[in-house]
Amino acid sequence: MSSETTIKKPADNRVAPPSFLRRYGSQMGIIGVGLVMWLGFVAAAPTVFTNANIYLAFAQTTPQFGIIAIALTFVVITGEIDLSFPSIMALGTAAFCLVVQAGGGWPVGLVAAFATGAVCGWINGALVSYLNIPSLVITIGTSFLFRGLELVLMNGTGVPLTAEDYPAMHAIFRSTLFGIPIQTIWMVVILIGAWFLLNRTRFGAHVFLVGDNPTSARLMGIDAVSVKTRSFILVGLMATFSGLMTSIYGYYFWPTTGEGFLLNTIASVFLGGTSVFGGTGSVVGTFVASYIIGAINAGIVSAGINAFYTQLAFGLVIVVSVVLQTLIDRKIRRQSMTGR
Amino acid sequence: MSETTPTPAGTPVIELRNVSKTFGEVRSLSGIDFAVYPGEIVGLLGDNGAGKSTLVKTVMGFHRPDPGGEIWFNGKLIDDWSVARARDLGIETVYQERALCEKQPIWRNMFMGREPRTKWGLLDVKKMRSESARLMSEHMGFTSAAVHPDNVVSTMSGGEKQGVAITRALYFDANLVILDEPTMGLSLTETGKTLDFVRNIKAVGKSAIFIDHNIFHVYPVVDRLYVLDRGKVAGVYDKTQISMEDLIDRLYRVARTGSLT
Ligand SMILES: Nc1ncnc2c1ncn2[C@@H]1O[C@H](COP(=O)(O)OP(=O)(O)O)[C@@H](O)[C@H]1O
Ligand SMILES: [Mg+2]
């Protein structure tokens, strides 16, 4: 390790615990960025951004990708990525529709949907962790596989999901509770669950360790294969949840469900401060970042700017946040820019 | 080996019988018979690439021996050996590569793979932090700097990192501690502390495997010695059998000719 010579420094730097800024700096940064952006929108289009309706729409649609982003955070912390979740959204929801069409009833449909999502996640995880295939490549492959399977099963046609036919599903995924859209309530509940999973369970501890240094983790007896596989299964489950929520929101299951979700979901994870290099990340960061991404989207659309700009904006968010992370990471580890 | 070596009495804590390990074309271990008895310190000597670390990782269950090799623990043949199992049975290792996760705080490294849980089954983060702080002040003291349990390992010096790895092996009260070149890159005082640590293992009646290139470190603390050469056991010596000078002489001969005699 050549780094050992560069990290020598006076010992008194380390007598104190790491500063608040060091520990929560990136999270504060995200919240700061979010606030500044929001103020910018308010200044640019005051009539739009002081209208409560826009926040309502925003609280209904942001969780559609935010919930997946929270699960994807686990996979990214383990040092992997999953690009197949838009297809899992569709395949999981297709399983629901097919079971209901076959007379299974909505509860059985839900079980089938989540089982499908879990199996998709397991396939991704097993291919990545057992066979050591780069996740970036294999999940592009499974993305087409899952999408293709869904299109074949649905024969390319959609399914209406009206409130009359599916009252329970609408109550679960599209109602309002205490005046708050239930989608956002779900997202908060999932955030709390995910926070405990990541920060207060052995599985969560192992997610960080495996992502930081898989060999070290394995030398200390951690089952890296199982940790990665379970993270991918989590994404499969949450993608299914989101697929159902998104379809119910639109009263219709489109065979193209999930298209347009890739960019904003991944942008939320990286903007939220989760490292592309694995080993560090935060579900709270992802949560906040999802709403910022949702606000950018709503802002661009409501301000009447051409929607092409959303792609530009999300692309920019991904590139800038990943570059900033890299720079901050190097600075914290006191490494030279070119070393390593 | 024609030399007869007195075998210590009792059942070995860990024993390898006819263990080979092949990585593709590379045969790192071939037909190894190796045993550690209760309460003894076993030294492992051999050139770079002799297979010492591979042997250690096989003992730990990280590498699975080629078919035909057997791992015995306390007199029982074990066929589902794994690192988690080995650690559960009281074997801890300070690996040559340290096996730390450098972006993580010390407390996560200290309890890596054996995280304590509360009665609710949740991670006991409070205990992980406070125990790490206690261990660091009681045992680590490797350098003058006080180190906070929340400090990230990558900000520490080489000696401090090794301190974390050694303290971690110490914490779980292992019956067998394995140290793979623990003094590499350490200062004189840090090396002294590490050797004291090895002696202490014996004092409390536990066993250890100690690997170090420096015979002046190894010879004084061990009871028995294995010399490894190109994946084979080239010799086993009881310390009472061989003087340090004689041993050095033989090691030179192994390095030159591949034979001890
Ligand atoms: N995971 C591995 N894959 C391939 N070859 C390995 C692996 N681990 C060790 N080796 C090889 O095994 C031999 C012994 O290595 P090692 O056990 O590290 O020796 P030592 O610790 O005695 O220096 C070396 O030739 C090394 O290259
Ligand atoms: Mg070695």
- In what helix (H) or strand (E) does residue A151 lie, and over which residues does it extend? helix A135-154
CATH T-level assignment (fold) for domain A27-328:
ABC transporter involved in vitamin B12 uptake, BtuC (1.10.3470)
- pLDDT tens for A222-252 read 999 999 999 999 999 999 999 999 999 999 9
Tally of residues, chain A: 340
Burial of A307-317, coded b for 16+ CB within 10 Å and e otherwise, reads: eeebeebbeeb
3-state secondary structure (DSSP) of residue A263: helix
Q: CA–CA distance from B213 to each of A112, B47, B157, B238 (Å)?
A: 60, 8, 22, 18
Using one digit for the tens of pLDDT, what is the confidence trace for B110-165? 999 999 999 999 999 999 999 998 888 877 665 445 578 888 898 888 888 988 99
Residue A14 — pLDDT band, cuts 50, 70, 90?
very low
Lowest mean pLDDT among A6-20, A33-47, A180-194, B67-81: A6-20
**CB distance B80 to B89 below 8 Å:** no
Q: Is B83 on the interface with A (CB under 8 A)?
A: yes
Q: Which is more confidently placed, A278 or A295? A: A278
Question: Quick one: which ligand is closest to A215's CA?
Answer: 1
Does B258 have pLDDT greater than 90? Answer: no
Q: Looking at the complex, does the CB of residue B150 fall below 8 Å from at least one CB of chain A?
A: yes
Q: What is the pLDDT of residue B149?
A: 87
Looking at every residue in chain A, the average pLDDT score rounds to: 88
Quick one: which ligand is closest to B28's CA?
1
Overall CATH class of domain B1-90+175-261:
alpha beta
Alpha-carbon separation of residue B160 from A251, A259, B136 (angstroms): 60, 50, 10
pTM summary value = 0.91
| Residue range B2-60, pLDDT digits in tens | 445 556 778 999 999 999 999 999 999 999 999 999 999 999 999 999 999 999 999 99
Residue B134 has a pLDDT of 87
DSSP B144: S
pLDDT over 60 (residue A2) = no
Percent of chain A with pLDDT over 90: 65
Pocket test for ligand 1, best of B28, B59, B251 (most atoms within 8 A of CB): B28
Chain B residues with CB under 8 Å of A4 CB are: 157-158, 185
Place of tokens 């609280």: A59
Which percentage of chain B shows pLDDT scores above 70? 93
Whether residue A8 has pLDDT greater than 50? no
B27, B196 contact by CB (below 8 A): no
pLDDT at A280: 92
Question: Does residue A291 carry a pLDDT above 70?
Answer: yes
**A139 contact partners, CB below 8 Å, separation of at least 6:** A81, A82, A83, A84, A124, A128
B228-253 tens-digit pLDDT:
999 999 999 999 989 999 999 888 88
Cα of A134 to nearest chain B Cα, Å: 21
With an 8 Å Cβ cutoff, is B145 touching chain A?
yes
Q: Is B250 helix (H, G, I), strand (E, B) or coil?
A: helix
d(C-alpha A71, C-alpha A125), whole Å: 13
B62–A219: do the CB atoms touch at under 8 Å? yes
> pLDDT, tens digit, for every residue of B185-221?
888 888 888 898 889 898 999 999 999 999 999 999 9
What's the pLDDT at B257? Answer: 77
Atom of ligand 1 nearest to the CA of B52: 22
Q: Chain A residue closest to B91 (CA)?
A: A220
- Inter-chain touch A209–B112, beta carbons under 8 Å: yes
> How confident is the model over A81-115, as pLDDT tens digits?
999 999 999 999 999 999 999 999 999 999 999 99
- Pairwise CA distance, residues B115 & B127, whole Å: 10
- Whether the ipTM is more than 0.95: the answer is no
The answer, for A4 touching chain B at a CB cutoff of 8 Å, is: yes
Distance of CA B179 to the CA centre of its chain: 3
The DSSP line for A202-262 is: HHHHHHHHHHH-HHHHHHTT--HHHHHHHHHHHHHHHHHHHHHHHHHHTTEE-TTTTTT-H
Does the pLDDT of residue A307 top 90, yes or no? no
Q: What is the full DSSP assignment across B185-197? A: T--HHHHHHHHHH
Read off the amino acid at residue B253.
R
CA B240 – CA B234 distance, rounded (Å) = 18
What is residue A27's predicted lDDT score, i.e. its pLDDT? 67
Q: What percent of chain B has pLDDT over 90?
A: 66
Q: How confident is the model at residue A311 (pLDDT cuts 50, 70, 90)?
A: confident
User: Looking at ligand 1, which residue's alpha carbon is closest to its atom 5?
Assistant: B23
Domain ranges across chain B:
1-90+175-261, 100-174
Q: What's the pLDDT at B170?
A: 83
H/E stretch holding A115 reads helix A105-129
